Structure formats: structure tokens, C-alpha cells
Amino acid sequence: MTVAPEFSDVDVPEGYVKLTVDGEEVVAPKGELLIRTAERLGTVIPRFCDHPLLDPAGACRQCLVEVEMNGRAMPKPQASCTMTVADGMVVKTQVTSEVADKAQQGVMELLLINHPLDCPICDKGGECPLQNQAMAHGRTDSRFVDKKRTFPKPLPISSQVLLDRERCVLCQRCTRFSDQIAGDPFIELLERGSHQQIGTAETADVLDAASHTSSGQPFQSYFSGNTIQICPVGALTSSQYRFRSRPFDLVSTPSVCEHCSSGCAERTDFRRGKVMRKLAGEDPDVNEEWICDKGRFAFRYAAAEQRIRRPLVRSAETGELEEVSWTEALRAAADGLVKARDGKGAGVLPGGRVTLEDAYSYGKFARMALRTHDVDHRARAHSDEELDFLASRVVSDGGPAGGGVTFADLEAAPVALCVAFEPEEESPAVFLRLRKGARAGDVKVVHIGQWASPAVDKTFGELLACPPGGEADAVEGIAEHAPDLDEALRADGAVVLVGERAAEVPGLPTALHHLAERTGARLAWIPRRAGERGAVEAGTLPTLLPGGRPVADADARAEVERHWGLEAGTLPAEPGRDVTGMLNAIVTRDLGGLLVGGVDLDDLPDPALARKAFDAAEFVVSLELLPSTVTPYADVVLPIAPVDEKGGTFVNWEGRRRPFTVTLDGTGALTDCRVLDTLGVEMDTDLFTQTPDAALGDLDRLGAPKGTGAAKGTSGALSAPKGTLGALNAPKVPLGAPTAPPTPGSGQALLATWRQLVDDGSLQIDEPALAGTARRVVARMSRATADGLGDHVTVSTGRGSVTLPVEITDMPDGVVWLPGNAPDAKLRATLGAGHGAVVDIAGGDR
């Protein structure tokens, strides 16, 4: 006689139920799926369609189990991935139930009927859930003897994703991901019966045609790579990784994405010293399990043929850069910088892609070796107002631990206001969180921009359209013109997200500061580059020392001087010059030398001024990975390591530290901090930043400004009265005031622009498959603005012109939108103009 399970012994808390799984009594939260309950008990039920971050579908039927409810067995086995737990339920998995086991074997046999079993040539082979589960839960022999259904293969559904319909088990993970998570439903289930298949509108037409025919609207999504990763069979494969290696060849290292400021967790797989692919890592606090295609596919720049691998020094005789030894190059660099420093001075431009450690080293190098505050990492449009904004609102926000806005806050915010920020293009992980929150109905997303970009649609958002440059007025006008939004922003947890474009709009940082003060909404600054936030923390700004200490503060300077072992009063009391200030100073012969990190002159607000300044500079040292626009002007080029070959820490926009270790060890490439340390020694200055660990240790010992630690720890939300902060950290209110945008005359328009995720960026070289998924390059304008222009528009300034096809878009009149850095439209380089500038428009020919 079997003993009935004793249900009375265990307490069931509120919101939980008690059930029996494989004879074991278990308490589970209401709404939990059976498949997860079993997993918690250590029983893995085979599955294909089930994914914790996607809605349940019950499509593959692989997870069948026997279920008994109220003492009565259900007549057929049930899919455990769609059934939630209930009180008194008795579940028998394949472990205890022969019925369930037989049902699972039967489903597996069915799924394999039309599967081509071409594992030897399949990229998924060796890491394939179908392969593994067929071994674990399938029959050893197939009873199927007829001809299998075949499809032409592989079918490119975009330049990046290849579809093999024979291998597909129709689990719909890819379609559900595209529909639910990314919001780009370009692939769907088509046809019926044994012809059921995944496809796009256009793959349906080529059912019987030869493969390799793709045109029209491809599977254009910035997140399409995730479908490859979650495909439980080899039906979706990557054209970049096609046939490159096998799982057992690969060594995997956890890493952090180096592209945008989200700092997504990644897994980097390499073989014989070469990175083969990157996969999304799992980090519930940051990127969950998703990454964008840029993070996944753009990594071959580090292995580019033209990479600088030996130090170069410009020869006095020939005027050409020549390969020399490290000792010789460092000597030349040190001599030149000492001469420049002792003459008119030298400045530092680290660029926005540095790690926290490298940024700290650049800042320390500027202050100790070059004895100046002339250091600015902002290789983009910038303003003094932004500088104050960063000092008062960003660097002091405390990060995730100190009450700063986090990814989780985005998902739970009652309202998220995006100002001068294009989440999908500039920080895709933020976009996914906003969409997740909005889809659940929790977050109301409001965008202040020029046109309803795909991100506005996909976050179910509302657009408050304004002319470029008018964002400040729009923010100031919220109370008057959008009282409901103003009210919503006063709610607990409301956030305002601001992008790096804010620096281009006079008055916007001030307006945002006022908005946050007035409504109590929390501000988050989401720059585009991975290193920007860390560089702010590390003090590579003319007005900030490490840890957010203002240069103008004597106590702060004294504290840093003590820590760095400098004599009191060594650090200048006057703030340094920003990027434009430095460039102007070189042109006017007030500054002699430059030490430049990863800066592209065409990213700077005025590339022409930059070129003039670099040409006029007495001495330029460039720390670079690849030949850049700086290289022709450099006197010494020192090669440094790409992220794969070094360790370090990125600080993401939240202020969260994202440490990563070396992936490719022993390549001999040096980190920026190591090069700067050695260069410092050559200049008779010890930076103590030989390794990233040493640099980070040095920064951490310096710590937060004294006297503000307690305030920072308890202040929590940014809206805490600033008076509670120590005098050292007291924010200055940004100085700018909203100014009306210039009004364009006839034949003119205001330029609106931002950079797209996949464009002509220097970290995306050698990636033709990725480039193929870029959005179509068009100029956008309203019907009234485009009136009489024709199909193409030529946008010009005094410097040059760009001609692009016109796409009529619902946006304010007198405004033209262009992508910032598309292959055919490199705006800064050709126009020398940015967001909010007045440009000439005319009908163009192509």
C-alpha cells in the first residue's frame, strides 16, 4: 500500500500553492509554469519553444508531462511549458511516468521526420538542443523510411541571418522574439501542414526557386542576431560565423560590449588567437539575454590588416612614419611632449572609448606629466553647459548603489521621457527595456524629437515633435503645453533619459536640470560611447578631477595632490580648456602639443578647425589601434590593445562598473594605461598605472570626495536637496538659458541628425554582413518642406553637400533629418554641421 503524501506538514505562504512533482511535494508561487517548477527540483524536461523571457507558446509539444488535477488524471499528457501550477496538482515527468516518456519520444520522432540530420555541416552541431535532447530523450532508431521534405537552402533572410527551413522544428522562438522583444516582426510562420515554414513575405515566393535570392524587404532588425542564438536547432545561422569553427574548438571568455554605453554582458569565443564570434551574455541587471547586432557582429576591426602593431615615429629626413622600437618611440614621444609642455603646454584628448582605468591614466598623465587640466574626452559636439551638467547631475548620481537610474528602473517607471535621445540607435539595450516595460503596460514612453522614429512606435510611445535645437523650449514648455506629462513626471520613479545630443542644443542641459528639480523626476544621461561615463568618473574633463571633484575646489585639489604625491599647489587652480578650446589655442599658438587617444577628427564639432589645429600643432602623439584621421598629423604613433586583448572596466550609463578580463592573452599589445605609465616614467613622472588593476586600485584608494560620502550614501534620489551635499560637491546650476533656434530662410532648413546604430563607424570596418542590415540612408522631411524638390535632396553648407533620396515623414516643416555618419552622408566631415544647424536644401540629382 502506498502512503498518501502528507500535505499538512508544510506551510504554504500567501500567493503560493502546493503540488506534487514526481512524488515530491513542492511549494511554488502562483503562476509558475510547471516546466520551471520541475527545473527547480532538478528535473529538466526537454523543450524547444520554451524561453523564460518569451511568452509561453506550447508550439513544439516536446515538454509533455502527465498531470492529475483534483485526484483525476487529465486524459492526455499536457505541455508543461504552458500550464501553471495549481493547488493539489500531481505532476509526473518523464522520470516517473512512462506515458510522459513515451509521449516525449514520440514528439521527438515526429520533429525529426523532416529534419535533414545534416549535423556534420550544421553550425549548431555540438551545441544544439535538438541534438542533445534527441540523444537524451529520443529513440535510437527512426521508423521513418520515406523521402524527407526538402527546401532550397540556405535562404538569406537578411545579409546577416541565413535560414534553413529543413532543420526548423517550428518552435517560433525567432518569430516570438522578433514580435515581442525587438518589435520587428519581419519573419512569420507561413503555409500549413508539412509545408509550414518560417519566412518573410518574400521567401514565400522563392519556395521552389534557387537559393541565394534575396531582395526587397529583408529581416531588418538591429536585434536579429539574438534569433540565431535562441534558435534551438540550426535553422537560423549567422553568415559571419558560417562554417568558421565548432564549439569544441572555441575558448569562451565572459566579456563586456565595447560599443555603446549600456555595457552589455557578452561571451567572446576565440580559436587559435582569433575571435570567432560574440554571443549575448546573461546579466538580468543589464541586458538580460539580449544584445544588439552591432555588439554581436562588429569585432573584426581588432584583427584588421591595417592595425598598427609596432610604434611609429615620423622620420626627420623623409617626413614619413617609420616603424621603430618601443624604447625609441617612447623616448621620442617623451622628448617631444616635455618640449611642448615646457613651451606653450600640451593637452590630452583621450576619446570616448576608453576604459575607466585608461581614462584615469589619461587624466593623471595630463595633470602630472603635462601639468595641465587641458584634458577632454568628448570627441563630439560639446558645450560648457554640458560640462556643468555632467559635474552637477551625472558624476554625483551615485550609480546603481547610490540611487541612480538603473535598467530595472526603466522597466518600472510610470513615465520615461527621452530627450535628444534615440534609444534604438544610441543604446539598444535601453530600448529593449523601455519596450519591455511599455509592452507590459507599466511604462509610458514620451519622446521629444523630430519625427516618429521606429523606436517611438515600438515603445508604444508618444512623440512631442519640436524643431532641432528647440528641445530646450520643449522641455521648458512641458508644464504649460503638456500638463499631463508634467503631472506624470512628478510620480514616483519617473525618469528622464537624455542623450549626448543634448550638448548640441543650447539651454537643454539647464532646462533638464530645472525639469528634474521641479518635478522630482530622475535624470539619466545616456551617452553613445562605452567610455564616456567612466571618463567622467575618472576626471578626464577640464573642470573635473577623479571622483567628481571640481578643479575649482581647493580642498579637492589638495586631496588629489596628497594622493598623487604632488607638492601642495602643484595642480593649477584654473580649469583647463575643452576640446574646441584646445584646438583654438593651437591655432592661435597658445598650445603646443597634443596627446591623442581614440579620436576621429571627423567626429569633432568642427573637423576643419581640428585639421587646421593638428596641422599647426608642434608635436602630436597618437595612441591608436588603426590608422585614423589623426595619424597623418602624428609625430609618434603608439599602438595600443583592443578590448579583446586587455582587461579593464567600462562604466555604463547607470554608473555600474562592468569589469572584463583579457580574452586573447599574450598578444603583446599594451593597454593605454601601461603605455602612459611608461611614457610618464620617460618624462620623470610615476603614474603607477602599469596595469589596469594598479590603475583601478589607485583610483579606488582616492575614492569619493571627503565630506560627501555620507551625503552620497543617504541622499538616494537625485532630487534630494542639494544643500545636504558637502560644499565640495555642491553643483553649479548650468549657466545656459534656452535660446530660440535660428529660423531658416527660404531654400534653407534646420538640420536634425543623429547617428544610427549600424553606420560607417570605425569599429564596424570589415563587417559587410552587418553593414547589409543598416537602415536605408534617406533624408527625411515633411511634405511641405520637400515640395518641389523631387526625389533627391541636396543638403549643403559652405563646406560641402550631401545628396540623398527624400522620404516624406511626418515632422515639423522647415526641418531636414539626415543620418549622422552613413556611408553616403558623413555629415560632420562633409557639411561641418550638426544637429540644429541651418543648411541649404535644393533638389538634387543622382
Partner 1 sequence: MGIFDPVKGFGVTFGMMFKKVATEEYPEIGAPAAPRYHGRHQLNRHPDGLEKCVGCELCAWACPADAIFVEGGDNTEEERYSPGERYGADYQINYLRCIGCGLCVEACPTRSLTMINFYELADDNRQDLIWTKEDLLAPLLPGMEQPPHPMRLGDNEQDYYVGGPALARGRGVPEQETVETDTEEAVR
Residues that bind partner 1 (CB under 8 A): 120-121, 125-126, 153-154, 212, 242-246, 248-249
Three cell numbers written together for 8: 499538512
Q: How far is the CB of 669 from partner 1 (least distance, A)?
A: 24
Q: How far is the CB of 240 from partner 1 (least distance, A)?
A: 11
Length of the chain: 846
Distance, in Å, from the CA atom of 524 to the CA atom of 416, rounded to the nearest integer, reads: 10
Contact assessment for residue 264 and residue 293, using Cβ atoms and an 8 Å cutoff: no
Q: Retrieve residue 322's grid coordinates.
A: 617609420
Q: How far is the CB of 643 from partner 1 (least distance, A)?
A: 25
Region at 45 (left for phi over 0; alpha for psi -120 to 50; beta for the rest): beta
* DSSP secondary structure letter of residue 567: P
C-alpha cell at 334: 617623451
- How buried is residue 65: exposed, middle or buried, by Cβ count under 10 Å (0-12/13-18/19+)? buried
Amino acid at 413: A
- Label residue 374 left, alpha or beta by phi (over 0 means left) and psi (-120 to 50 means alpha): beta
Task: Of 253, 163, 144, 251, give the one whose Cα is nearest residue 203.
Answer: 163
Smallest distance, partner 1 to C-beta of residue 117, A: 10
Q: Which is nearer to partner 1, 252 or 797 (CB)?
A: 252
Burial class (CB in 10 A: 0-12, 13-18, 19+), 242: exposed
* Closer of 228 and 541 to partner 1 (Cβ): 228
Q: By C-beta, is 118 or 791 nearer to partner 1? A: 118
Task: Report the amino acid identity of residue 597.
Answer: G
C-alpha closest to that of 148 among 114, 119, 110, 118: 114
Query: Cβ of residue 121: shortest distance to partner 1, in angstroms?
Result: 4
**Cα torsion 232, 233, 239, 241: sign:** positive
CA distance 291 to 287: 7
First to last CA, the chain: 87
- Minimal distance in Å, beta carbon 530 to partner 1? 31
The minimum distance between CB 206 and partner 1, in angstroms, equals 16
For 280-312, give the DSSP string. Answer: E--BTTTTBT---HHHHH--GGGG-TT---S-E
Nearer to partner 1, 120 or 441 (CB): 120
In this complex, which beta carbon is closest to partner 1, that of residue 245 or of residue 253? 245
What is each CA distance from 27 to 17, 30, 50, 828, in whole angstroms? 6, 9, 22, 61
State the maximum Cα–Cα separation within the chain, in Å, rounded to a whole number: 100
Q: Whose Cβ is closer to partner 1: residue 72's or residue 272's?
A: 272
Residue whose CB is less far from partner 1, 272 or 846? 272
Nine cell digits for residue 468? 532641432
Q: By C-beta, is 153 or 563 nearer to partner 1?
A: 153
Q: Which is nearer to partner 1, 117 or 733 (CB)?
A: 117
Q: From the CB of 142, what's the least distance to partner 1, in Å? A: 16
Smallest gap from Cβ 145 to partner 1, in A, equals 14
Per DSSP, which regions of 149-283 are E strands? Answer: 155-156, 161-163, 188-190, 197-199, 236-238, 251-256, 265-271, 274-280
What's the closest the beta carbon of residue 409 comes to partner 1, in angstroms?
Answer: 45
- The DSSP code for 743 is P
Q: Find the shortest distance in angstroms from Cβ 155 to partner 1.
A: 12
Q: How far is the CB of 114 from partner 1 (least distance, A)?
A: 14
Q: List, as one string, the DSSP characters of 100-138.
A: HHHHHHHHHHHHHHS----GGG-TTTTS-HHHHHHHHHS
Give the residue from 157, 192, 195, 189 showing the smallest Cα distance to 173.
189
Minimum CB–partner distance for residue 143 and partner 1 (Å):
21
Distance CA 845, CA 675 (A): 50
Amino acid of residue 213: T
- Rank residues 125 and 254 by Cβ distance to partner 1 and give the closer one: 125
What's the min distance (Å) between Cβ of 666 and partner 1?
20
- Rounded to 5 degrees, what are φ and ψ at 229? -70, -35
Report the C-alpha gap between 269 and 254 in whole angstroms: 9
In the complex, the smallest distance separating the C-beta of residue 189 from partner 1, rounded to whole angstroms, is: 25
